[in-house]
Amino acid sequence: MFKLDRKSLLSLSLVATAAIAFTACNSDAEPTGSMTVNGKATIDGAATYPVVNGKTSDYYVNESAHKPGKNYGRIPTANELKAWNTDVTPSKLPPMGSGSVEDGEELYEAQCLSCHGDFGSGGGGYPALSKGNAVDLQKTLTNNRWKDPEADGPTRVFGSYWPVASTLWWYIRDGMPHPLTKSLSVDETYALTAYVLNINEFVIDGVEVDDEYVLDQEKFSKIVMPNVDGFEPNIKGPNALEDVRAYYANAKNFGGLNLNQGAERCMTNCIDKDATQEAASASVVGEVPRVRRIIGVGISDFLPPMSTVRDLPAEDVAFDAKAAYENVCAMCHSSFLAPGSSDWDAYTGKGMDKVYENGINGTEGGMPPMGTSSFSKAEFKSVVDYLVNGK
Amino acid sequence: MDKNIIDNAQDVVSRRDFFKRAATISAVTASTVLLADGADDPAIMHHVPWGQKLGDPVTANRYGVPSKYEHNNLRRNTKLLASGNFQASIAVCPIHESMGIITPNGLFFSRSHGGTAHVNPHEFRLMLHGLLEKEIVLTLDELKKYPSVTRTHFIECPANGGQEWRRPQFNSVQFAKGFMSCAEWTGVYIKDILADLGLKSEALWMLAEGSDNSEMGRTVPIDKVLDDAMIVWGQNGEALRPEQGYPVRLLLPGWEGNLCVKWLKRLKFAKDPFYAKEETSRYTDLKPTGKAIQHFYANEVNSTVVSPSPEKPWTHLNDGDIIEIEGLAWSGMGTITDVDLSFDGGINYVKANLKGLVLPKCWTRWSYMHTYKKGEQLFLTSRAIDDAGYIQPTVDQEVGIMGVEAIYHRNAVETWEVTKTGEVNHVQIRS
């Protein structure tokens, strides 16, 4: 895989041998059986492959791979490019179209509310889309709970935090609604975007996005996000990469800790015990400065529960249709997206076999095949039975 | 028994008696090798059941599976790390059971934003377009015609350890540090494909987009594309697992896992960045200044003690036992050069030893032999250094710059308390 010529292998082993001999007669050596290769402590002759000049690619051996002229694949057609070149960015607006807040609200209640909550307030682990007025909430971004854990934290939702609006339009069209993505039309995407702007109390070009508002491409292009300047490093313009490189060359920008070249790192008395013991809430254990502990048992709802026991597994438990329903099906079937337990008369008229068939094969614009599950057909039917009859 | 008596007795036994006697003896020897007394280990003194019957035929597992006794070595979840369902979620790697620097494919951590997609390889297409002299579309077979390289790299979610800015929350190394895994990847350097296609000089950014439910996309600077960015289809000697983006994912060695877009369908080259959803709503780090870091790429130098850990306590040790303290170190910026170990929570350090291969942007295993004193309380803190010149900060050094609202890229030193009875607890040392 890597180049390592005979000569360097030989010198490595000479160094290693010398290091072993040295360690053996030096009573100050660490009692760990360690040796040294190329100046580095190793326990088994570990071979080090460094990064050279910031690049890992110096190990590259197949020089002919760089040479052009392979001509694999084919040139995409204009239609193929049009089909996939659909990103929406600040410099590439959404397609022409329009949608109203009113239509957006109707769509939202039908397809989004079950996850994102009333007026985008979130819930059940799904992201909130609004917490109120975007301009006001942007001011909370300097809140930080290190000194005072009881203080209010920052509010990071679309309106208060995201730097550009194109992200929202693009993501709604391609990634939403979560169980049935890429099902919304251009106008529907405008309508939902308008609704999200409405609940975040946006003003576009001096006009409030009220309940009567209709969003289109031109208005969309004029959205200014309250937190547009809230991000670093700069990634805009022809010098963006220089700005990015300069930013990450300074460890202080991102919380890194740089050892100055050649400087020795601290090995003894590295923490100022006196300073850290001053704090009123100090809990000092022996010589150790303040120890922060997990509150109670912490987060421990692990699935499956933590165990390192090497025993025989419990006998395979019978397939649990109720648990399967709750894990896979309930997200839609307990919401407005799909029929729940009380709606089945309209579907069972053609017999249960038809219900099974629709579930297994999927229905156009509705049920995805097998509900995207990996159940066997028999298991799937038992889940359908549970959903239709069981509750 | 007197030897003569035995001899005499055997002289007079009939053939029938001999077989009767032999049957009685074999009934005993069938289960025991020798007569045992209480000091002898039954596991040695008895024939083991698997030694006295035929094992499985070699045809039994056409694709091998672990011993059924290893059934607890699993990826695990918690509802805290799920956006309402287990499709937009993460399953973390049991690094306390890991050996060496390779994660077996079935245990590689799995994170997705819309569930694991199952891509039909015959319908897989990869399009490279935008600011190129020549735009192309490739089938999987055509992609694999490029000269392949094989590299060992970790992939880490930048939220690894991100639940613990304010205090530790997981008494578990699997959950505290297991948002990562390491594998040997096979694929092609993107720069080799670009040598064929011609990258236009005004191209500064590349969009990588997946074909999954979430159409996961991220913007990558051209610097990385022209360094070591790969398109990979092989993982530890076999095809990528579906959880890792079968048939093809992007691999940006050392950089945030979410940048290594899975179920890849499109690479677009452009002069402006793309502001994809997962680079604005997520994967940005809010600082106390109110400004947030966007495009936070490389996972910084990091390390953890793996044994002991909350999952691997020292409750079984005896006074004076010489025991190996083992851990992992890794850096997305380069190669690990040193790992230090502290027994007092970071006041004093000793040098630990690196083990095995020490590769760039790869898990590096390290070791320290310790003589255990029964009843001692320890605070084990590891600290790694990489050849990019970075060292892990203390908790307060990192928080002093980043505050506690950041979520991602937390690489301050981690500490396990070993109690007097050998239990291990996750703690955080203010410094």
Q: What is the pLDDT of residues B170-214, one digit of tens each?
A: 999 999 999 999 999 999 999 999 999 999 999 999 999 999 999
Report whether B222 contacts B273 (CB < 8 A): no
User: Which structure tokens are listed for A80?
Assistant: 């193929």
Collect all residues of chain A within an 8 Å Cβ-Cβ radius of residue B213.
175, 178, 181
Contact A32 B353 (CB under 8 A): yes
Contact A181 B77 (CB under 8 A): no
Answer whether residue A8 shows pLDDT above 60. Answer: no
Contact B348 A167 (CB under 8 A): no
Collect all residues of chain B within an 8 Å Cβ-Cβ radius of residue A254.
285, 293, 296, 300, 401-402, 409
Closest residue to A30, CB basis, from B284, B350, B403:
B350
pLDDT of residue A25: 34
pTM over cut 0.90: no
Report whether A185 contacts B202 (CB < 8 A): no
CATH topology of domain B79-283: Sulfite Oxidase; Chain A, domain 2 (3.90.420)
Nearest to B132 by CA among B23, B269, B229: B269
Collect all residues of chain B within an 8 Å Cβ-Cβ radius of residue A145.
166, 404-405
What domains are defined for chain A? 6-66 (no CATH), 85-220 (1.10.760.10), 321-390 (1.10.760.10)
pLDDT of residue A316: 60
Collect all residues of chain B within an 8 Å Cβ-Cβ radius of residue A297.
171
The predicted model gives B62-73 an average pLDDT of 96
Closest residue to B389, CB basis, from A171, A261, A372:
A261
Report whether B174 contacts B95 (CB < 8 A): yes
E-strand stretches of A201-333: 203-204, 207-208, 214-216, 231-232, 291-293
The predicted model gives A279-303 an average pLDDT of 69
Report which of residues A332 and B119 the model is more confident about.
B119
Helices A186-199/A166-175 angle, 10° precision: 130
Binned at pLDDT 50, 70 and 90, residue B4 comes out as very low
Binned at pLDDT 50, 70 and 90, residue A10 comes out as very low
Answer whether residue A61 shows pLDDT above 90. Answer: no
Contact B174 A306 (CB under 8 A): yes
Report which of residues B331 and A62 the model is more confident about.
B331
The predicted model gives A326-342 an average pLDDT of 71
What is the nearest CA distance from A189 to chain B, expressed in angstroms?
A: 15
This model of the complex carries an ipTM of: 0.90
Answer whether residue B348 shows pLDDT above 90. Answer: yes
Binned at pLDDT 50, 70 and 90, residue A342 comes out as low
The predicted model gives B272-277 an average pLDDT of 97
Q: How far apart are CA B346 and CA B327, in angstroms?
A: 16
The predicted model gives A11-30 an average pLDDT of 36
Distance of CA A289 to the CA centre of its chain: 35
Contact B163 A34 (CB under 8 A): no
B315 Cβ under 8 Å from any chain A Cβ: no
Closest residue to A258, CB basis, from B163, B213, B390:
B390
B431 Cβ under 8 Å from any chain A Cβ: yes
Closest residue to B72, CB basis, from A31, A300, A309:
A309
Q: How far apart are CA B350 and CA B340, in angstroms?
A: 5
Answer whether residue B45 shows pLDDT above 70. Answer: yes
Contact A41 B351 (CB under 8 A): yes
Q: Which of B213, B362, B411 should be substituted to probe chain A, the one whose Cβ sees the most A Cβ atoms within 10 Å? A: B213
Helices A352-361/A377-385 angle, 10° precision: 120
pLDDT of residue A282: 37
Collect all residues of chain B within an 8 Å Cβ-Cβ radius of residue A65.
146-147, 149, 188-189, 192
Instruction: Please report the number of interchain residue pairs, chain A to chain B, with beta-carbon separation below 8 angstroms.
Output: 418
Binned at pLDDT 50, 70 and 90, residue A35 comes out as low
Closest residue to B266, CB basis, from A84, A162, A241:
A84
Mean pLDDT for all residues in chain A:
81
For A134, which DSSP code?
A: H
Report which of residues B14 and B351 the model is more confident about.
B351
Query: How does pLDDT run across A115-165, given as a tens digit for each residue?
Result: 999 999 998 789 999 999 999 999 999 999 877 778 899 999 999 999 999
Shortest CA distance from B310: residue in chain A: A306
Report which of residues A7 and A376 the model is more confident about.
A376
Closest residue to B223, CB basis, from A73, A85, A241:
A241
pLDDT of residue B155: 98
Say what percent of chain A tops pLDDT 90: 50
B295 Cβ under 8 Å from any chain A Cβ: yes
What is the nearest CA distance from B343 to chain A, expressed in angstroms?
A: 10
Q: Name the least confident of A17-31, A249-263, B278-292.
A: A17-31
DSSP bridge pairs for A74: B137
Say what percent of chain A tops pLDDT 70: 76
Binned at pLDDT 50, 70 and 90, residue A261 comes out as low
Answer whether residue B392 shows pLDDT above 80. Answer: yes
Residues with Cβ within 8 Å of B268's Cβ and at least 6 positions away in sequence, in order, are A85, A87, B128, B129, B130, B206, B207, B209, B274
User: What's chain B's length in residues?
Assistant: 431
B242 Cβ under 8 Å from any chain A Cβ: no
Nearest to B220 by CA among B236, B231, B211, B233: B231
Q: How far apart are CA B214 and CA B212, in angstroms?
A: 5
Collect all residues of chain B within an 8 Å Cβ-Cβ radius of residue A308.
72, 96-97, 311-312
What is the nearest CA distance from A110 to chain B, expressed in angstroms?
A: 18
Answer whether residue A335 shows pLDDT above 80. Answer: no
pLDDT of residue A3: 36
Place of tokens 């204009």: A78
Closest residue to B275, CB basis, from A90, A291, A299:
A90
Answer whether residue B29 shows pLDDT above 60. Answer: no
Report which of residues A235 and A333 the model is more confident about.
A235
pLDDT of residue A1: 33
Mean pLDDT for all residues in chain B:
92
Report whether B164 contacts B411 (CB < 8 A): no
Domains B79-283 and B302-427 share a fold: no
Shortest CA distance from A116: residue in chain B: B84
Contact A181 B353 (CB under 8 A): no
Contact A74 B136 (CB under 8 A): yes
Cis peptide before A304 (omega within 30 of 0): yes
What is the nearest CA distance from B40 to chain A, expressed in angstroms?
A: 23
Contact B84 A292 (CB under 8 A): no
Q: Where are the alpha helices (DSSP H) in A152-304?
A: 158-161, 166-175, 186-199, 217-220, 240-248, 273-277
Query: How does pLDDT run across A180-189, given as a tens digit for each residue?
Result: 999 999 999 9
Chain A neighbours among B 15-74 (CB < 8 Å)?
A: 68-72, 74
Shortest CA distance from A301: residue in chain B: B78
User: Would you kindly state where each structural domain of chain B is located, as residue ranges?
Assistant: 3-51, 79-283, 302-427
Query: How does pLDDT run across B228-245, given as a tens digit for each residue?
Result: 999 999 999 999 999 999
Answer whether residue B254 shows pLDDT above 90. Answer: yes
Contact B114 A32 (CB under 8 A): no
Collect all residues of chain B within an 8 Å Cβ-Cβ radius of residue A288.
344-345, 347, 379, 429
Binned at pLDDT 50, 70 and 90, residue A321 comes out as confident
Contact A241 B86 (CB under 8 A): no
Contact A270 B293 (CB under 8 A): no
pLDDT of residue A368: 79
Q: Name the least confident of A108-122, A204-218, B4-18, B261-275.
A: B4-18
Closest residue to A298, CB basis, from B147, B171, B345:
B171
Answer whether residue B425 shows pLDDT above 80. Answer: yes
The predicted model gives A12-38 an average pLDDT of 42
CATH topology of domain B302-427: Immunoglobulin-like (2.60.40)
On the CB side of A385, CA atoms within 13 Å amount to 8
The predicted model gives B28-47 an average pLDDT of 77
B147 Cβ under 8 Å from any chain A Cβ: yes
Shortest CA distance from B311: residue in chain A: A308
The predicted model gives B384-394 an average pLDDT of 94
Q: Which of A178, A265, A334 should be substituted to probe chain B, the one whose Cβ sees the most B Cβ atoms within 10 Å? A: A178
Q: Which of B186, B278, B405, B409 should be substituted to probe chain A, the one whose Cβ sees the most A Cβ atoms within 10 Å? A: B405
Shortest CA distance from B166: residue in chain A: A146
Contact A291 B429 (CB under 8 A): yes
Q: How far apart are CA B158 and CA B162, in angstroms?
A: 8
Q: Which of A232, A264, A316, A317 should be substituted to probe chain B, the one whose Cβ sees the most B Cβ atoms within 10 Å? A: A232
Answer whether residue A23 shows pLDDT above 60. Answer: no
